[in-house]
Amino acid sequence: MSNAPAFLQDAKDLLTKDGFTTGDVWYHGTSSALLESIQKQGLSRAGDKAMKHVEKSTMATIGGSMTESHEPICLTQSKELAYFWATQTVRDRSVRFEGEESPVVLEVKLPADFEEQVKPDTGYAGMLLVDGGGKYMELVEALYKANGIELAEIDPLRADRSIYLKTLGLAYIDKNIPPEYISEVNS
């Protein structure tokens, strides 16, 4: 079941037999260590610069190299699902950095020209193929069950793209999001 704080538990309001409803508000999960930068610069496809620096240094240490990459910005229509991704970010960063970090959920209100660029995140299909989606799928299944809705089995090779958005709450935008469209979700 979800370990999200009560003020973030919104699956009960969003889940229908057709999946998660979508509106004009999106959410993004991150670490408190990145919040100040995001508030100043927005969400960047360049990603977590500190993590990329460590990864690049690690590759150099073992004689390899790493090229800079830009990744899409992950979004979801659920604060509860964004909290899951925020905890994953904190966990991933805790392996590399000392200090106290906590999960942060950001609300993203996009203008119309950005909104039409939000796409279902079918990149998750690879994770479904490898290990059934792991902890994320466990959470999604638990949310469906807690709301009395049966989650149909998903075949990642044959699933329609919309399944990733509607059923699993996975979306992305391949564009930087300026800070004026972003705010921290607080209790």
pLDDT single digits (tens) 65-84: 555 566 889 999 999 999 99
* Residue 120, both tokens: 């279902």
Query: Domains of the chain: which residue ranges?
Result: 6-44+73-184
Strand order in the sheet with 25-31: 25-31, 103-109, 182-184
Average pLDDT, integer, range 7-24: 94
At 99 the pLDDT is 73
At 20 the pLDDT is 96
Please state the separation of Cα 175 from the chain's center in Å. Answer: 15
Average pLDDT, integer, range 109-116: 92
On the question of pLDDT at 55 being above 50, the answer is no
* Residue 172, both tokens: 């992305």
Average pLDDT, integer, range 26-43: 92
On the question of pLDDT at 132 being above 60, the answer is no
At 58 the pLDDT is 47
CB distance 182 to 30 below 8 Å:
no
CB distance 170 to 120 below 8 Å:
yes
Q: If pLDDT is split at 50, 70 and 90, which confidence band does 156 have?
A: confident
Closest to 106 (Cα-Cα) out of 127, 132, 129, 76: 76
On the question of pLDDT at 101 being above 60, the answer is yes
At 128 the pLDDT is 66
Distances (CA, A) of 163 to 12, 20, 30, 166: 19, 10, 24, 5
At 131 the pLDDT is 61
